[in-house]
């Protein structure tokens, strides 16, 4: 896939998302739930927070997308996540896993993630510490935030392809990899990590794009969509309160032309290299 082909695929995906407004089942944490829903609505998708074991299974069978985020899992939510992930796998439907806080300190949630991996998420999205640790390379984290550069974590991705098709790492630069290709997405803003749950919401947006394109193109599209909106918001606002309002504005205002004009993406590796 060339750079031009990838750009075109992203534009088509964005267009399809606007037309279909895919229904995304969100099983996420209490910090992220409102923001995730607002991000999906602004970007063109349709959120539904269905995360209880008594209805998660049936909904996972019909939703266009599914994000599972283990930020603040309750016992009921964990049961629901397992049922939903299993359903997606059985029906060959895409789903995205965000292993928030994965690592040696938070063992309970790390075990939940290990168990969810057996249902083969289409995309694993996290920060550098989470992805490195998931890959068997333990790196220090700070609570749920990373202390590792995304640039280095991407080198560990290979071990994860036994569980998933796509590994996406957010950071100063974002890296998205499938077994035969790695893409770097630049842009965005240093203010983004100052807004809570922006990574969580990004995972949900990947899930939305997965409803209209391949998991790899979906992951690149979601990161580009975020990076452009953040960059535009930061051009006008220097502080988080107004930046965040403008970020939501630009998620909504983005058009297919913007993707071509402003996407700052770089194909790093093809398998033969």
* Residue 254 exposed, middle or buried by CB count within 10 Å (0-12, 13-18, 19+): buried
In angstroms, the CA 234 to CA 236 distance is 5
Closer residue to its own copies, CB minimum distance, 115 or 196: 196
The verdict on 195 binding its own copies (CB under 8 A) reads yes
Measured distance CA(64)–CA(182) in Å, rounded: 26
Please tell me the count of residues contacting its own copies according to CB under 8 A: 63
Radius of gyration in angstroms for the set of CA atoms belonging to the chain, rounded to a whole number: 17
196 touches its own copies (CB under 8 A): yes
Contact predicate 132/89, CB 8 Å = no
Q: Write each residue from 98 to 127 as x if it is in contact with its own copies (CB under 8 A), else as -, in one continuous string.
A: ---x---xxxxx------------------
Q: Which of residues 239-258 bind its own copies (CB under 8 A)?
A: 239-242, 244-250, 252-253
25 lies in the site for its own copies, by CB under 8 A: yes
233: exposed, middle or buried (Cβ count in 10 Å: 0-12, 13-18, 19+): buried
Q: Which stretch binds its own copies (CB under 8 A): 54-62, 116-124, 165-173, 215-223?
A: 54-62
CB of 79 to its own copies, least distance (A): 11
Element holding 259 (H helix, E strand): helix 256-262
> Contact residues for its own copies (CB under 8 A)?
21, 23, 25, 29-35, 37-38, 41-42, 46-52, 54-55, 58-59, 62-63, 71-76, 101, 105-109, 142-145, 193-197, 237-242, 244-250, 252-253
């Amino acid at each position: 896939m060339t750079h031009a082909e990838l750009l075109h695929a992203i534009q088509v995906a964005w267009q399809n998302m606007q037309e279909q407004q895919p229904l995304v089942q969100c099983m996420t944490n209490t910090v992220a739930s409102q923001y995730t829903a607002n991000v999906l609505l602004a970007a063109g998708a349709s959120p539904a927070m269905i995360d209880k074991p008594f209805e998660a299974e049936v909904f996972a069978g019909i939703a266009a997308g599914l994000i599972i985020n283990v930020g603040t899992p309750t016992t009921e939510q964990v049961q629901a996540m397992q049922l939903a992930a299993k359903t997606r796998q059985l029906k060959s439907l895409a789903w995205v896993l965000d292993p928030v806080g994965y690592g040696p300190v938070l063992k309970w949630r790390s075990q939940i993630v290990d168990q969810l991996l057996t249902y083969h998420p289409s995309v694993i999205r996290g920060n550098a510490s989470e992805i490195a640790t998931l890959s068997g390379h333990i790196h220090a984290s700070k609570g749920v935030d990373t202390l590792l550069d995304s640039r280095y974590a991407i080198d560990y991705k290979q071990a994860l392809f036994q569980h998933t098709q796509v590994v996406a790492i957010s950071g100063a630069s974002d890296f998205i990899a499938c077994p035969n290709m790695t893409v770097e997405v630049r842009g965005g803003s240093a203010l983004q990590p100052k807004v809570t749950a922006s990574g969580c919401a990004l995972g949900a947006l990947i899930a939305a794009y997965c409803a209209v394109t391949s998991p790899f193109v979906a992951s690149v599209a979601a990161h580009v969509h975020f990076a452009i909106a953040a960059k535009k918001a930061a051009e006008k606002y220097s502080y988080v309160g107004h930046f965040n309002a403008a970020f939501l504005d630009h998620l909504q205002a983005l058009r297919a032309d913007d993707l071509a004009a402003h996407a700052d993406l770089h194909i790093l590796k093809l398998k033969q290299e």
